[in-house]
Each structure stands twice: as C-alpha cells, then as structure tokens.
Amino acid sequence: MALPTSRNGGTADKATLKDADPGRPHDWAARTADTIDELLGKVRSKTTVPLERLTRILVYGIVAVTLGVVVVVLVIIALVRALDELIPGPVWSAYLILGGIFLAVGLFLWRKRPSRQDG
C-alpha cells in the first residue's frame, strides 16, 4: 500500500495515516491509554475533586472558628479593662457589670428559642 502524501509532497505523518483509513486498527496502545486516562479522569472528578472541596471547607471553617474565638476572648478582655478604668473601685465591679450584660443577653436568647411543643 502506498503511503498518502501530504500537501507539501512528502509522506504523511501518523495522524494523517490514522485519518486515511478509519476501519484499520492503528495504534491500539495509544487508544487504550487514552481510554484509561479518560476513565481515570472521570473517577477523579467524582471522588477526588469533591473530597478536595470538602477538605478545603473544613480547613477554612476551623481557621475561621479559631479566629472567631480569639476575637471574642480579646473583646471580652478589652471590655473588662475598659470598664475597670472607667469605674472606680475594685475589678470585680467590672466583672459584675459584664456578667449582668451577658446574663441579660442569655435570658433574651433563651426566651426566643422555640419551645418543645412547637416542634
């Protein structure tokens, strides 16, 4: 069988040979490798990609919660120190005021919770 020629007059490359006779099995190793690669890509897109996304959400969530706790602690410390400077007397008066504020907020949130009979 004569090799088909390319546009410039030389012999064609493998891609041209592959397209010249579609019924002839040419490079079965390359087709098998492509099929395996495609299959592995599908499996990866269904398993690894969602797990990477979940891991990213968990890590950023843990970092955000940690930073939130640190900010809350620092704000409470700042409030105690500010109240201690503003109110004359011992530091327990600042603790008493902040404790009363937290108690009032807690009671308010407790009253807003759904009751067991509401479902």
Closest to 94 measured CA to CA, from 73, 106, 79: 79
Give the pLDDT score at 44: 87
Position 15 scores a pLDDT of 53
Q: Which residue has the higher pLDDT, 2 or 40?
A: 40
The model's pLDDT over 7-38, given as tens digits with 9 standing for 90+, comes to: 555 554 555 555 555 555 668 888 899 999 99
Answer yes or no: is pLDDT of 1 > 50.
no
Higher pLDDT, 65 or 117: 65
The string of pLDDT tens digits covering residues 32-91 is 999 999 999 898 888 888 899 999 999 999 999 999 999 999 999 999 999 999 998 899
HEC secondary structure over the chain: CCCCECCCCCECCHHHHHHHCCCCCCCHHHHHHHHHHHHHHHHHHHHHHHHHHHHHHHHHHHHHHHHHHHHHHHHHHHHHHHHHHHCCCCCHHHHHHHHHHHHHHHHHHHHHCCCHHHC
pLDDT at res. 59: 98
What is the reported pTM? 0.56
CB atoms within 10 A of CB 94: 19
